[in-house]
A and B are shown apart, each in its own frame.
Chain A
Amino acid sequence: MKIIRTGTVLVLMLIFTSFIQADDNGPVSVKIDNAYVNSVPPGANITAGFFEIKNIGKISITLDNVSSPMAKKIELHRSENIDGKMTMQKITALVIGAGERVKLEHGGIHLMLWGLNESLFPGSHIPLSLNFVNGSVIKVQAELRDIRGMVSHHH
């Protein structure tokens, strides 16, 4: 009886474990590159941040929000051209499929940061927490870059 009961528990545990994995739980496997935040030009209260994220895991993951002790508020936004006008929409969740890479960039998805700590200067590092829906948190250091240094290389 005892053996059977232990066996049942083991089977249940196995089922439960696979259920968890299928439901996008457990630590996320991601690779973050080129994380940076633009300096805030005088007169403005906000600025944008960018990074590239690659989901190197086998299941899709969902980024819920991004936070930092150096900013009052951070939101994920998407710039879109709607009827010829550039419009910004708030993104509530960013789904990244298995093996997929998402690049935050100008004119596309970006971080919108309010009230960036004023003691920061170009070259400083801003700690960002990427908070996933499954509870995982990935911490990255984003470099603060002088906003005047960004230029288009589009031809």
Chain B
Amino acid sequence: MIKIASLKTRTAQLVVVIGLVMSAGTGFYCWQQSQPLPVPQHLQDLGGDFVLQSADGPLALEELRGKVVLLYFGYLNCPDICPLTMANWADAFNQLSVAEQGSVRGLLVSIDPGRDTPEKLEKYTNYFHPNIIGLTGGHKELAEITLLYRSDYSVERGDESDNYTVSHMSFVYVIDPKGKLREILSHESSPVEIKKSIRNALKVKV
């Protein structure tokens, strides 16, 4: 009888221990899931605040604290990869919940201020998604901002016509709610990959 009783006690103790280990594990897993992935070393010193012109007046990146911001340097007469990037963003935004959409903005910064006015940019970005804002500024400001993000562009004037192209680095910068650059994506990143990066950056609480 005694032996059976102690066996029962032992079993009960074992169940309790297993239960504790499991709940600690689940707790750790939940905590880990709530944490954003660390910012890679090579991005630590990149990024920063700026102010550019939108159709509604000047917009400072700082005004978007609390939101995840996708940043892209492009231009309207880029026929190939710029609209593809905008379409990918719009698709990713549409896959988010309404609450998440409220905490995400896309910024298309035109590096072709000679042709792209803030008004034209607004029409273009609204066509893709209302959460995308078109911005531009003078070449001096744009050069400073692209340098902050270690991006680059150059206007390729082959002839005197208005049909010039602009060579530009084509990355998507994912900025977290604290204004810190968290990730750099390729313009080929699929909407699913973009959504994953947005959700990761949304884990950063201000």
Contacts of B163 in A (CB 8 A): 114
Segment among B12-20, B56-64, B164-172 that sits at the interface with chain A: B164-172
Once the chains bind, are A106 and B152 in contact (CB under 8 Å)?
no
CB under 8 Å from chain A, chain B span 178-196: 186-193
Pick the contact of A79: B77, B80, B88, B116 (CB < 8 A): B80
| B149 close to chain A: CB less than 8 A | no
Contacts of B167 in A (CB 8 A): 82, 85-88
Residue among B79, B124, B193 facing the most chain A CB atoms (10 A cut-off): B79
Contact pattern, A 95-131, Cβ under 8 Å of B = 1, otherwise 0:
0000000000011001011100000000000000000
CB under 8 Å from chain A, chain B span 130-154: 152-154
CB under 8 Å from chain B, chain A span 121-155: 147-155
Once the chains bind, are A41 and B83 in contact (CB under 8 Å)?
yes
Contacts of B191 in A (CB 8 A): 151-152
Once the chains bind, are B190 and A107 in contact (CB under 8 Å)?
no
Segment among A9-17, A24-32, A42-50, A57-65 that sits at the interface with chain B: A42-50
Measured between C-beta atoms, what is the minimum distance from A2 to chain B in Å? 61
Contacts of B77 in A (CB 8 A): 44-46
Measured between C-beta atoms, what is the minimum distance from B162 to chain A in Å? 9
Once the chains bind, are A85 and B188 in contact (CB under 8 Å)?
no
**Contact A106:B84 (CB < 8 A) given known A85-B168, A112-B79, A152-B189:** yes
| B81 close to chain A: CB less than 8 A | yes
Chain A residue nearest to B90 in the complex (CB): A148
Once the chains bind, are B84 and A85 in contact (CB under 8 Å)?
no
Measured between C-beta atoms, what is the minimum distance from A43 to chain B in Å? 4
A86 to B156, CA, bound (A): 12
Pick the contact of A84: B127, B128, B165, B169 (CB < 8 A): B169
| A38 close to chain B: CB less than 8 A | yes
Measured between C-beta atoms, what is the minimum distance from B6 to chain A in Å? 57
Contacts of A41 in B (CB 8 A): 76, 83, 86, 124, 127-128
A44 to B108, CA, bound (A): 14
CB under 8 Å from chain A, chain B span 85-143: 86-88, 90-91, 116, 120-121, 123-124, 127-128
Measured between C-beta atoms, what is the minimum distance from B159 to chain A in Å? 11
Pick the contact of B88: A42, A112, A152 (CB < 8 A): A152
Pick the contact of B190: A48, A106, A152 (CB < 8 A): A152
**Contact A151:B120 (CB < 8 A) given known A79-B80, A86-B167:** no
Among all A-B residue pairs, the 3 with the closest Cβ atoms: A43-B124, A43-B120, A48-B79
Known: A42-B127, A86-B169, A150-B87. 13 other contacts (CB 8 A): A38-B79, A42-B123, A43-B116, A44-B79, A44-B83, A82-B167, A85-B154, A87-B167, A107-B80, A149-B87, A151-B88, A152-B189, A155-B190
Question: Interface on A for B, CB 8 Å cutoff?
Answer: 38, 41-48, 77, 79, 82, 84-88, 106-107, 110, 112-114, 147-155
